[in-house]
Chains A and B, each alone.
Chain A
Amino acid sequence: MKYAFSFLAVIALILIAWLGSQIPGMPYLFGVALPYLAMIIFLGGCVYKVVQWAKSPVPFPIQTTCGQGKSLDFIKHNRLEAPSTNGEVVARMFLEVVTFRSLFRNTKSEIHEGPYITYESSKWLWCFALIFHYSFFSIVVRHLRLFLDPVPAWIGWWEFVDGLFEVGAPTWYISDVGLVVGCLLLFSRRLITRHVRYISLVNDYFPLVLIFAVAVTGILMRFFLRADIDIVNIKQLTVGLVTLSPVIGAKIGAIFYIHVFLVCVLIAYFPFSKLMHFAGVFLSPTRNLRNDSRAVRHINPWNPKILPHSYAGYEDEFREFMVNADIPVEKELTPSKDE
């Protein structure tokens, strides 16, 4: 019941924030102290993780290639799939980060009667991931309107495009729907695909449920539970947070504190979870190395330092013993002066 546990954990978090924010004085904990704490954990944790990764040596060039590597001139080199220069690596990495090309290659294997095994392209994961990640990104950018004062014009343009359908008031955003749908799709994928379900753990389900709850509380706050949700008052607090002088002007509804608390848990949990793939993708040796192992020697960083030792040097070191043992030497011992 790994997914049930995730739901229980998120419900517990919601209850903590809901009941906790009703206690006098506690809004400052949920609205000011915890966001700062979560942000410090997020920044510190992410930097720590990346430094730890950067300290790990890469003993072999283990880039994964999906095309013809650079070879003789008349063999066509697949520059994107087997990059041999830094520029090609950057191009490949950029497309990986922006379009998730490795998910595009996802295949599904099935055993049929015979027995035959078949492999077929399965693009669902790629599609769901695109919906989810781009919605998430758009929502993060849109939230900048609460933190920047005055709000730059480009955020208004971003909101315009995101709310292009102009459905309802306040406008529904495409990314709001996208995030909820994306969470549901990725979650159902883990439940429905048997082998993915078999390998799914609590730390796969929990972030999905948590992000789903963040999205739902945000939507509830914007459209439905409007009691004491005065955006001017909220912006006063959020701008106060980033100008390091936070104030809570008037009473803010509990749904706001629930939303903020869930976000705090999410960003504090980030560095210790699989969500760190946002930084990990840049540090994957299978992606960020050049495929030039035939042209450039990759040296294992933990190899002991062994200096070249020529035969002439060897003989210099052991000549006396060699002569004593009647081993022929190329250069005779120089007779010492006393003899």
Chain B
Amino acid sequence: MYNKGTIIPGLVIFVLLVTFPIWFNAFSTASTVPKIELPPGGEKECVASATEMRAKHMVLLNEWRDDVLRSGNKTAVTVGGKEYRRGLQTACMQCHTNKDKFCDSCHTYTSVNVYCWDCHLTPDVAAAKKEKH
């Protein structure tokens, strides 16, 4: 083999780069696989089934935002006799009150960086703000 001095370090760098996730995980503390927290209030019904929400909640939230905020159509949705005002704070977070345990646990685990909280407030922060004013 010619040019061993460059070929071998090159190959070593290549193998280390490709196997980078193995080294990274070996030297970092693994997080536990997140488990979603069910609503603390004990509600069982949502605007859609759990599987559908798991797959499409982001699409639903986007559609609500566009409809309510951009088209000005503020009609509420009624599912199973219960009326929901379409909105993250007005509907979702009424039951799923804990952002950390319900939203963030999975989003952080899979590095999904949502921009909901650029505008919205969690119930705790909203209550704290209300007290101030």
A residues at B contact (CB < 8 Å): 39, 42-43, 46-47, 50-51, 54-58, 144-151, 155-156, 159-160, 166, 168-170, 226-227, 229-232, 235-236, 239, 242-244, 249, 279, 282, 301
In the A-B complex, list the 9 residue pairs whose CB atoms are closest, starting with the nearest.
A226-B55, A169-B58, A151-B111, A147-B21, A145-B111, A169-B62, A242-B21, A54-B7, A54-B1
> Judging by beta carbons under 8 Å apart, are A51 and B7 in contact?
yes
Q: With contacts A51-B11, A149-B31, A301-B2 known, what are 8 further pairs, Cβ within 8 A?
A: A43-B19, A54-B3, A150-B28, A150-B29, A169-B62, A231-B106, A242-B25, A244-B22
A279 and B14 CA atoms in complex are apart in Å by 9
The complex places the Cα of A169 from the Cα of B106 at a distance, in Å, of: 16
Instruction: Confirm or deny: B113 has a beta carbon within 8 angstroms of a beta carbon on chain A.
Output: yes
Q: Return the CB mask of B84-126 against A: 1 if under 8 Å, else 0.
A: 0000000000000000000000101111110100000000000
The main secondary structure of chain A at its interface with chain B is helix
Q: Say yes or no: B109 contacts A235, CB within 8 Å.
A: yes
Q: Is residue B33 contacting chain A, with contact meaning CB distance below 8 A?
A: yes
Q: B residues within 8 A CB of A146?
A: 110
Whether the pair A57, B2 counts as a contact (CB closer than 8 A) is yes
Instruction: Return 10 A-B CB contacts under 8 Å, by A number.
Output: A43-B15, A50-B14, A54-B1, A145-B111, A146-B110, A148-B21, A231-B106, A236-B33, A242-B22, A301-B2
Chain B, 3-41, CB within 8 A of any chain A CB: 3-4, 7, 10-11, 14-15, 18-22, 24-26, 28-31, 33-34
- Are B2 and A42 touching (Cβ within 8 A)? no
- Residues in chain A near residue B55, CB distance under 8 A: 226-227, 229-230
User: In the complex, what residue of chain B is closest to A279 when comparing beta carbons?
Assistant: B14
CB distance from B29 to the nearest CB of A (A): 8
Contact of A50 among B7, B21, B62 (CB under 8 A): B7
Contact with B113, one of A159, A169, A229 (Cβ below 8 angstroms): A159
B residues 46-65 with Cβ under 8 Å of A?
51, 54-56, 58-59, 61-62
The smallest C-beta distance from A124 to any residue of chain B, in angstroms, reads 31
User: Are the CB atoms of A232 and B1 closer together than 8 Å?
Assistant: no
A149 touches B30 (CB 8 A): yes
CA of A56 to CA of B51, assembled, Å: 57
Residues from chain A with a CB closer than 8 A to the CB of B33 are 232, 236, 249
Contacts of B20 in A (CB 8 A): 144
Interface centre among A145, A148, A169, A235 (most CB of B within 10 A): A169
Interface contact B113-A160, CB-CB below 8 Å = yes
Q: When chains A and B are docked, how far (Å) is the Cα of A227 from the Cα of B51?
A: 8
Is the beta-carbon distance between B59 and A169 smaller than 8 angstroms?
Answer: yes
Q: Return chain A residues, CB-CB under 8 Å to B31.
A: 149-150
Assembly CA distance A148 to B111 (angstroms): 10
Give A244 Cβ to nearest chain B Cβ, in Å. 8
- B110 to chain A: which residues have CB within 8 Å? 145-146, 151, 231-232, 235
Residue among A51, A232, A282 having the largest count of chain B Cβ atoms under 10 Å: A232
Closest to A57 in B: B2
Q: Select from chain A the residue with minimum beta-carbon distance to B60.
A: A169
Give the chain A neighbours of B108 by CB distance below 8 A: 150-151
B111 and A47: CB pair below 8 A?
no
Which residues of A sit under 8 angstroms from B26, Cβ to Cβ? 243
Closest to A278 in B: B14
Which chain B residues border A249 with CB–CB below 8 Å? 33
Looking at the assembled complex, report how far the CB atom of A302 sits from the nearest CB atom of chain B, in whole angstroms.
11
| Residue of A whose beta carbon sits closest to that of B14 | A46
Given A43-B18, A232-B34, A232-B106, A170 and B58 contact (CB-CB distance below 8 Å) = yes
Chain B residue with Cβ nearest A163: B113
A144 to B111, CA, bound (A): 10
